[in-house]
């Protein structure tokens, strides 16, 4: 049966091997880059100052002087390590010129600390031989403990704070690199705070410090990967792979070091192989999921850019078209009114057609402008107290010509002006409301206009009444009707039903969308109902009293 120390030896051998590989991997990936160089020396210093002495203490016969000197050297190495840790961090974050005072103060403080550690007894009080810490236990002086651990904690917290600030400020594509560093340093810091800070301060012992020293390679591994790799896997993949690898190593060590019977070793070996197979499958599935998410994210961003470009184009085009169209309409109106002399009847009829076409174009341009303002959040309400009845009447008046052309009826069933309260006092049936009159009129106009377009016989009926402290406006028609699928997408932008494409080819599907948005801006609701094709449709607006 393997002893605990033999297990430590195996893990130490692995950590030193991995540490050297990481250091040289990063160094040769960018020999000229300062970040890579600082990381290289950071790893080597930690290996030299923290890991290698553990082997020396157990495998070399040392005199008392050397036994006392090597821990002092170890403390000094930690001071020097934090110089390179700081320099690495500010280079990684590209903040080399941001803290000129700290750039001098931290290295000078660390060098002074290292010098005092080696040549004085400021930090180290004594060394105790023990089996529990692979050979020794360091007892620090009370003042030295405060200085050393204070220096380590302050520098670590400062570096962490800089990474966190930069993480929240940086662009999305750079966040992943910061995530690798932060997760690595967070795991290392938490475990070190427990074993290298909490236990030395509370119990005055370093006998469990090797746990912190092993875990630093999680930090080194994450950081090295963030430095070298241009295309990083998601944190989820790396953590999954790390967990699978860690369990596989433990299973392997259990089979090799802690199992004496050959049959049990073979059984554990089979379990290890099965675990590796399922672990590999798990990592592949996580990779597949992340790849799909990334592709979906890229597609979403592209779609968002296209949508923004579409809105910008519509806004510019609408602005550019509205002015000349308004001028054209004005001149046509003057010609039809005879301001430029009498015109032949045949020409007059054609001019009327042109005038109506210009009106339709202006309405379309206004709808496009409204849609772009709504989508970009630039549409604002101008709220004022106003009665709803004159607004409905105005919308009806503007559509009278269209109704007559199609030989339809357009009825507005008004409620009585007043109703009697039980006290005998008169109460207005439709009181004034806090609304943007223009936008409410446009919403009602668009709904009535939509009913006129898709009604070939009969007509449109408009009702307005107060119900449950809400103003309810109903627009019913005897038109083509709607299917459930058409109702579901009726109020979306650029959406038109099957009848829309057949009966009215000039529309673009914005009228009802704008109506819905204007009503919702007033905290109201709008819905459509229909019993089916050929059975007409009904639109209902509800506005809360304010």
Asked whether residue 337 falls in the same domain as residue 398, the answer is no
| Structural domain ending residue among the three candidates 194, 217, 232 | 232
At residue 444, the pLDDT reads 93
User: Hey, which of 137-151, 336-350, 469-483, 484-498 has the most confident mean pLDDT?
Assistant: 469-483
**Residue 394 and residue 351 share a domain:** no
Give the per-residue pLDDT at 361: 78
pLDDT at 506: 58
CA atoms within a 13 Å half-sphere pointing along the CA-CB vector of 193: 10
Looking at the fold, whether 451 and 484 belong to one and the same domain comes out as yes
* Strand pairing class (384-386; 433-435): antiparallel
The reply to whether 357 and 399 lie within a common domain is no
Question: Is residue 237 one of the residues assigned to a domain?
Answer: no
Pick the last residue of a domain from 188, 206, 232. 232
CA distance 458 to 161: 73
The answer to the question of residue 249 being in a domain is no
Of 487, 493, 530, 527, the closest CA to residue 509 belongs to 493
pLDDT in tens, 261-319: 888 888 888 888 888 888 888 878 877 877 787 788 788 888 878 777 776 776 676 66
Asked whether residue 282 is domain-assigned, the answer is no
Residues 476, 410: one domain?
A: yes
Show Cβ contacts of residue 42 under 8 Å, excluding neighbours closer than 6 positions: 81, 84, 85, 88
Domain that holds residue 326: 309-375
Asked if the model's pLDDT at residue 475 lies above 90, the reply is yes
Residue 333 contacts residue 355 (beta carbons within 8 Å): yes
Residue 330: inside a domain, yes or no? yes
351/406 same-domain check: no
Residue 252, in any domain of the structure: no
**Is residue 209 located within the same domain as residue 180?**
yes
Distance in angstroms (rounded) separating the CA atoms of residues 522 and 218: 56
Check if the beta carbon of residue 210 is closer than 8 Å to that of residue 8: yes
Supply the pLDDT for residue 510: 80
More reliable by pLDDT, 474 or 241 = 474
Residues 297, 308: Cα–Cα separation, whole Å: 16
Statement to judge: residues 470 and 509 lie in one domain: yes
**Which tokens belong to 408?**
């339809």
Q: In the prediction, which pLDDT does 440 show?
A: 92
Are 370 and 469 contained in the same domain?
A: no
Same domain for 362 and 439, yes or no, is no
Distances, alpha carbon 360 to alpha carbons 355, 367, 546, in Å:
9, 10, 34
Q: Do the Cβ atoms of 162 and 95 come closer than 8 Å?
A: yes
- Evaluate whether residue 251 is within a structural domain: no
Distance (Å, whole) CA 370 – CA 127: 80
Q: In this structure, is residue 268 part of a structural domain?
A: no
Burial of 262 (C-beta count, 10 Å sphere; 0-12/13-18/19+): exposed
**Most trustworthy range by pLDDT among 44-53, 232-241, 339-348:** 339-348
Question: Look-up: residue for tokens 């941001």?
Answer: 98
Residue with tokens 């000039």: 506
CATH of the domain at 45: 1.20.1070
pLDDT reading at 110 higher than 70: yes
Residues 35 and 175 placed together within one structural domain of the fold: yes
Q: Are residues 396 and 369 in the same domain?
A: no
* pLDDT tens-place string over residues 404-413: 888 999 999 8
Element (H, E) at 37: helix 34-46
Number of domains in the chain: 3
Is 228 part of any domain? yes
Sign of CA dihedral 121, 123, 125, 127: negative
């Amino acid at each position: 049966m393997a002893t605990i120390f033999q297990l430590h030896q195996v893990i130490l051998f692995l950590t030193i091997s991995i540490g050297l590989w990481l250091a040289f991997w990063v160094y040769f990936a960018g020999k000229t880059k300062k970040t890579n160089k600082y990381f290289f020396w950071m790893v080597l210093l930690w290996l030299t100052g923290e890991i290698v002495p553990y082997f020396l203490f157990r495998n070399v016969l040392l005199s008392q002087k050397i036994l006392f000197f090597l821990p002092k050297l170890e403390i000094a190495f930690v001071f020097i390590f934090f110089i390179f840790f700081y320099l690495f961090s500010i280079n990684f974050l590209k903040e080399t010129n941001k803290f000129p005072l700290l750039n001098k103060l931290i290295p000078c403080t660390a060098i002074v600390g290292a010098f005092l550690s080696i040549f004085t007894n400021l930090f180290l009080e004594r060394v105790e031989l023990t089996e529990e810490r692979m050979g020794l236990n360091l007892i620090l002086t009370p003042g030295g403990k405060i200085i050393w651990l204070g220096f380590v904690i302050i520098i670590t917290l400062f570096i962490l704070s800089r990474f966190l600030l930069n993480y929240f400020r940086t662009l999305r594509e750079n966040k992943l690199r910061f995530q690798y560093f932060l997760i690595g340093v967070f795991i290392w810091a938490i475990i070190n705070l427990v074993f290298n800070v909490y236990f030395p301060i509370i119990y005055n012992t370093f006998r469990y410090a090797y746990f912190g020293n092993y875990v630093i390679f999680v930090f080194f591994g994450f950081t090295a990967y963030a430095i070298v790799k241009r295309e990083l896997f998601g944190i989820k993949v790396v953590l999954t792979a790390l967990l699978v690898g860690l369990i596989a190593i433990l299973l392997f060590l259990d089979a090799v070091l802690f199992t004496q019977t050959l049959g049990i070793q073979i059984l554990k070996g089979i379990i290890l192989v099965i675990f590796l197979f399922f672990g590999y499958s798990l990592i592949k599935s996580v990779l597949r999921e992340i790849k799909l998410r990334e592709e979906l994210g890229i597609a979403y961003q592209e779609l968002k850019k296209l949508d923004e470009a579409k809105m910008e184009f519509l806004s510019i085009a609408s602005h550019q078209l509205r002015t000349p169209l308004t001028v054209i309409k004005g001149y046509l109106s003057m010609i039809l009114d005879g301001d430029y002399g009498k015109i032949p009847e045949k020409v007059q009829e054609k001019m009327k057609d042109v005038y109506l076409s210009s009106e339709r174009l202006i309405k379309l341009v206004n709808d496009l402008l409204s849609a772009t303002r709504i989508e970009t959040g630039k549409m604002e309400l101008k709220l004022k107290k106003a009665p709803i009845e004159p607004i409905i009447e105005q919308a009806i008046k503007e559509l009278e010509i269209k109704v007559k052309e199609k030989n339809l009826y357009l009825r507005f069933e008004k409620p009585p002006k007043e109703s009697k309260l039980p006290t005998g006092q008169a109460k207005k049936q439709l009181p004034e409301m806090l609304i943007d009159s223009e936008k409410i009129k446009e919403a009602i106009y668009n709904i009535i206009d939509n009913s006129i377009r898709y009604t070939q016989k009969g007509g449109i009926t408009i009702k307005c009444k107060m119900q449950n402290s809400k103003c309810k406006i109903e627009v019913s028609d005897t038109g083509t009707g709607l299917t459930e699928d058409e109702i579901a997408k009726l109020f979306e932008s650029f959406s038109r039903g099957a009848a829309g494409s057949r009966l009215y080819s000039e529309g673009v599907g914005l009228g009802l969308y704008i109506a819905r948005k204007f009503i919702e801006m007033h905290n109201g609701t709008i819905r459509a109902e229909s019993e089916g094709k050929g059975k007409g449709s009904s639109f209902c607006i509800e506005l809360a009293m304010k």
